[in-house]
Structure 1
Amino acid sequence: METTIDKAGRLVVPKAVREASRLRPGTRVRFRVRDGRVEIEPVPLDVSLERHGSAVVAVPREGRPVLTAAEVEETTAGLRSGAPSEGGTQGAG
């Protein structure tokens, strides 16, 4: 898959790549150069740990879009089978 950087330095991430990696509009990404390659990854989600009853849960500090039922089912099925889901994990979104 190929794309082109425009004169303003913008890069269009192909739809198939966005879908597979679950990158959505507004997702913050980080660029790195390693061994002559450019790597792009979502910025880890900033969370705070809060006690909810007897459990401690990670709560996003910024609003996040709600996952669809299909996304939850896909991720759960992948975890149960031991195989990664099609989109992998979305540490940032």
Structure 2
Amino acid sequence: MIAFLDLLSIAAIAAGTFFFFAGTVGLLRFPDSLSRLHALTKVDNLGLGLIVLGLIPRAESALSALKLVVIWALVLLSGASTAQLIGRALRRGRK
């Protein structure tokens, strides 16, 4: 069972790292600011979620696992709010 949890952790963290890398490529390759913002918010939130999923089996206690999930939820909320504000400012600046 421990080997399965190790494999699950490695796979989830590797997938999360891949999504962070894909978000970075999107940041560098997309032509306009709204496309870059979309790439960063969507892909980075998924990457962080996968990394948290990979770290949960390694957590020392249920409280530590809960802290990881709460941190991820706060990042989701703050990332969505910030992306909304930046997107609105960009749209208003274009008119």
TM-score (norm 1): 0.23
**What is the TM-score with the length of structure 2 in the denominator?**
0.23
Higher-strand-fraction structure: 1
The structure with more helix, counted as a fraction of residues: 2
